[in-house]
Amino acid sequence: MKKLKVRRVIHAKRRRGAIPIAVGLGIALGLFAAKPASVHGETAASKLPSLLLGAAWYPEQWPESRWDKDLQLMEAAHLDVVRVGEFAWSSEEPSEGHYDLDWLERAIRMAEKHHIAVVLGTPTDAPPAWLTTKYPETLRVDEDGRRAQHGLRRQFNYADPLYRKFCAQIVTQLAQRFGHDPDVIGWQIGNEYTDESFDADTRRQFDKWLAAHFHTLDALNADWTTAYWSQTYDRWDAIPLPDEANENPGLLLAYKHFVTDTWRSFQRVQIDVIRKYADPRQFITTNYGGLGWSDHFDHYIVAQDLSLASWDDYVGEGHLKVARNGAMHDLVRGFKRANFWVMETQPGSVNWAPVNNTLDRGETRAMAWQAVGHGADAVLYWQWRSALNGQEQYHGSLLGPGGKPLPIYSEVSQVGSEFERAGAALAGTSPKAQVAILHSYNSRWAIDFQRFNRNYHQLSVLLDYYRPLRQQRLTVDIVNADAPLDSYKLVLAPDLNVISSQLAAHLLAYVEQGGDLLLGPRSGMKNEYDALNVQRQPGPLVAPLGGRVEEYYALETAVPVSGAMGVGTAALWAERLWVRAPDDTVLLRYGKSNGWLDGHAAMITRRVGKGRISYLGAVLDPALMDRVIAWATSDAKIKPEFAPLPDGVEVCRRVSASHTIFVLINHGAVPAEIQLPVAMKNVLDGGKNVTRVQLGAQGVSVLESAR
């Protein structure tokens, strides 16, 4: 205990010298710049560093006599922030209309004592038993008409007005009590929005939503081509609430938009309450789940009302898939086109995978630094201490059920120490990319409704484009298809299935002004109503491309492909391209295969205005795809952002107006030596100038270079 006390005093002094916090949107808006004078003296929030480490803490699950010890251990591990309260409704409102927030106040004050700030979760993901028992209509109904039962989470009906009323009431109590608390730096709305409801009232809401969006049944029938299979509707309430994928594609796409708007309005109820009573300096976010790739709703739309985006970064079974995880960070960064938070990540293992193995020693640290390299300003572990009971008893944690640190605690403590040393250098920096990958929920939904080849996985296709860019040591933005594109030299659009006339005009303007656009297979097949574009692919971009897709083929076996980029194969999907414009160039052709593809174009390109538009109609093998991306980056005059690296070593770049930060991570099991292109400061080693870096297995180096 004596040693721990000494460490705690040193740690407190270090914090008092730290710089003011800047997280996500706070960098741009100064969310933490102005706050009322604290009656508690120096607060945990007043001197937070720019790079935060934290954990999910559940004080309501433990005797209050234990809290101080837990927070001592957090402080000793260099934790800056805890998220609390997101599942605590039954503790905050033990019975209807009777609130108990004093315990939460004491927990926040105790955290303040240990220089730890608080993100307060609204508890609306897990309603208390008194609510669901007395008001069963607040429980969601599944596709088969079964009402959810108490004891789980996400059992609520997100569209139910009564449930939203109860949400507003508990959030009002929290915001009135803690909206001006100097140590509450932000709010998390609910937890991992996931499940919709198929009850009768939600269906009526869907009918009203359709009427508001299509205005007339004639317009709806025309857009959905409802003459097919006698689907024509003469009443709004005759339209089904779709519960299976074999429905009219237009109906399915409209339903996804309804789900998106319903989640956004559910979230908005709570945001409006918080903004009414809370300081503007307190940010508002929600934690996206689904391993980053969930598509229950359009994340870009739901994120519009948030201060910053955050997500829950888990590996599950196996080990870190470097390209996939990096792409998910970049995807989340694209929701707000700004730095983000990792609100949950695994401390070694989870409990929900088929095999819940523990990450290798050093892998948890490497995972944290990868998040930072891709734009995270905070990393929080789930969870702090193993719960004695409940569905997640086996989940990884920093402390065991008896309150003793587990082996992973020391590795997380190392991460915290490194975050403190690197925080000043990383302050005000963010990833800056020359190349973007376009991502669209409309396109994802449209393809998943009708995959045509069960082995066609859109994430795999996206990674086919993403991985070669990262291997070229390039920062990549993954952004919504209608995002501003002026700052990019190259834009890649893997399977951008839905291209409306408005989106086509946006993309064409980018090309005409000097941008390079590469469209991937299945692009432009559909319009905004999930109907086929009559021009064939790529829809409204056929004319500027000077060519089109004549036919598409789901492949049983690989077919040969060759041309300017060399020789390779196409698998899963191949499109036969017809070239119309005399100035089109064919870059790849199919070899002999099924007779329909033989000798026909697989990839074409054309200069348009000051830029170039290209179309690749096949899913290529990795080696040939590498060469296609190398051609695209070369044509766009994009140069690597760092020197060549050994296999298994990732480089991430964050920049500010004054300097550049490179985060090097050796994800391999073999040590690596890196020769730097110029001398740089070794941030984690006292700022020494170095020209060479040695990285052990799972090793990390943070380097600072002049701008």
Residues marked as catalytic: 192, 344
Other Cβ atoms less than 10 A from the Cβ of 600: the count is: 18
Supply φ then ψ for residue 675, to 5 degrees: -90, 120
Contact 518, 468 (CB under 8 A): no
Distance in angstroms (rounded) separating the CA atoms of residues 500 and 518: 17
In angstroms, what is the C-alpha Rg of the chain? Answer: 26
Sign of the alpha-carbon torsion through 51, 57, 59, 60: positive
What order do you get walking across the sheet with 659-666 strand by strand? 649-655, 659-666, 700-706, 672-682, 688-695
Which among 489, 56, 441 has a CA at the least distance from the CA of 257?
441
DSSP state of 394: T
Tokens representing 348?
């070694």
Residue whose pair of structure tokens reads 């402390």 in the numeric block: 399
How far is it, in rounded angstroms, from Cα 524 to Cα 536? Answer: 8
CA angle 9, 15, 21 (to 5 degrees): 160
Q: Which two tokens stand for residue 544?
A: 């500027």
Closest CA to 80 of 431, 365, 413, 395: 413
One DSSP character per residue, 22-61 reads: --TTHHHH-TTS--PPPTTSS-TTTT--SSEEEEE--GGG
Tokens of residue 441, six digits: 């929920």
Strands (E), 39-158: 52-56, 81-84, 117-121
Query: Closest Cα to residue 251, out of 36, 530, 52?
Result: 530
Residue 652 φ/ψ, nearest 5 degrees: -125, 145
Strand-pairing partners, residue 566, are: 563
Report the run of H or E that residue 500 belongs to, with start and end. none
The closest of 430, 423, 431, 429 to 50, measured between CA atoms, is: 423
Q: Distances from the Cα of 647 to the Cαs of 533, 595, 669, 671, 697, in angstroms?
A: 43, 40, 11, 11, 12
Do residues 45 and 35 make contact, with C-beta atoms less than 8 angstroms apart? yes
